[in-house]
Amino acid sequence: MAAESWRIITKMPLDRFVFSQTALQDYLDCPRRFALRYLERLEWLAEEAEPALEYERRQQEGQRFHRLAHQLMLGLPAERLGLLATSPELARWWRHFVQAFGDLPKQPAVYPEVMLGAPLGAHWLISRFDLVTVQNGRARIYDWKTYHRRPSDEWMAKRMQTRVYCYLVVVAGHHLNGGQPFVPEQIEMVYWYAEFPNEPAVFAYNAQRFRQDQALLEGLAQEIETRTVFELTEDKQMCLFCSYRSYCQRGTTAGDWHQAEVKEEEGVGEWY
C-alpha cells in the first residue's frame, strides 16, 4: 500500500473550530484519528474494546454514576438517589461517593457540570467540568472516575484533561469568583476514583505550569490549523482501542476493556 494512503490530506474548517480536551488528546495520540473524527466527521462502528458487552455495560454504569453525582450536587437527597443505584457495582461507587462528598452541596459556591470556554488563537477551547467549588478565593476542580484500575499520578498529570481544566479556570473562571480572576496558585484539581475512594490524585497548579500549558495549547491550535497532512500514529497500541482501526487497516480485533476504559471515560459527559 502506498505511503500516502496511511495519511489524510485535509484542512481545518475556515470558521472557528471548537477544541476540547478530548479532541486535543486525540490529536496527540493520533493525528489521523483527530482528522477522521473532527474534520472529516467520519462515523466508524468498530468495537473499541473486548468483550464488547462488558465494555458497554461499564460505560453505561459510569454514565449513570455521573448523573447521580450531578443530581446530588444539585441538592437532591442522597437516600432517594441511592435507590437508583441498582447494580452492586453502582451501589458500591455511590456509597463511596456519598461518604466522601455527601456534605459538599452544603457549601455556598458549588458549581456542578459547569462549562467554561475561552479563545484559543482563532478558535475556541471549551470544556465541561464535573464540579468546581470555590472557597476563600480558591478553586478546586473535581473529576469523578470509575476506572477499574487506578492510573498513576504521573500519567494523569500529563493528560490534556488535567492541563486544559486548570488552564481554563485561570482564563475563564472569574465569574465563579465574583468576577475576580484566579491566579494559578489558587487552583487545585482532584481526580476521585470511585473504586479507590481513599486514593485521589491531587494536582496543585502554579504560574510556571500555566505558562507551559498556554504555550502548548496555543501551539497545538496553530499546528492543527496550518496542517494539511494528518499521519497515522506509529504507536499501534493506540489502535487497539480506536473505532477507526479497521478503516486504517490496523486490525479488526479490539483491545481489552480494562485498558480501554481509561481513555474512553474521558468522553463521558463531553459537551459536544
**Within a domain: residue 60?**
no
Q: Would you state the pLDDT for residue 55?
A: 65
- Based on the domain organization, do 150 and 238 belong to the same domain? yes
Confidence at residue 243, expressed as pLDDT on a 0 to 100 scale: 82
Asked if 70 and 182 sit in the same domain, the reply is: no
- Model confidence pLDDT, tens digit, residues 79-107: 999 999 999 999 999 999 999 999 999 98
How far, in Å, CA of 270 to CA of 70, rounded? 14
H/E stretch holding 191 reads strand 187-193
**Residue 153: exposure state from Cβ atoms within 10 A (0-12, 13-18, ≥19):** middle
Residues 196 and 215 in one domain: yes
For position 161, which CATH number holds? 3.90.320
Global model pTM greater than 0.85? yes
* Cell representation of residue 151: 492510573
Distance CA 98, CA 144 (A): 12
Please state the domain count of the chain.
Answer: 2
214 plus 144 within the same structural domain: yes
Q: What pLDDT sits at residue 1?
A: 39
Question: Within a domain: residue 52?
Answer: no
**Same domain as 172, residue 98:** no
Question: Percent of the chain at pLDDT above 70?
Answer: 84
- What is the per-residue pLDDT for 267? 44
Q: For residue range 47-76, what is the model confidence (pLDDT) as tens digits?
A: 554 555 666 777 889 999 999 999 999 999
- Predicted local distance difference test score (pLDDT) of residue 182: 98
Asked if 209 and 84 sit in the same domain, the reply is no
| 162/102 same-domain check | no
Does one domain contain both 141 and 113?
yes
pLDDT band for position 143 (50/70/90)?
Answer: very high
202-234: per-residue pLDDT in tens?
999 999 999 999 999 999 999 999 998 999 999
15 with 96, same domain: the answer is no
| List of residues 6+ apart from 47 with CB closer than 8 A | 55, 243, 254
Shared-domain flag, residues 256 and 169:
yes
Does one domain contain both 100 and 125? Answer: no
**The dihedral sign for the CA sequence 170, 172, 176, 177:** positive
In a domain, 34, yes or no: yes
Which amino acid, residue 230? F
Q: For residue 214, what are the domain limits?
A: 3-45+107-265
Q: What are phi and psi of 76, to 5 degrees?
A: -70, 150
Residue 25: count other Cβ atoms within 10 Å of its Cβ. 20
**With bands split at pLDDT 50, 70 and 90, how would you rate the model's confidence at 252?**
low
C-alpha cell at 29: 495520540
Q: Helices in the chain by DSSP H: which ranges? A: 21-29, 31-34, 52-73, 78-82, 88-101, 153-158, 160-172, 207-226, 257-265
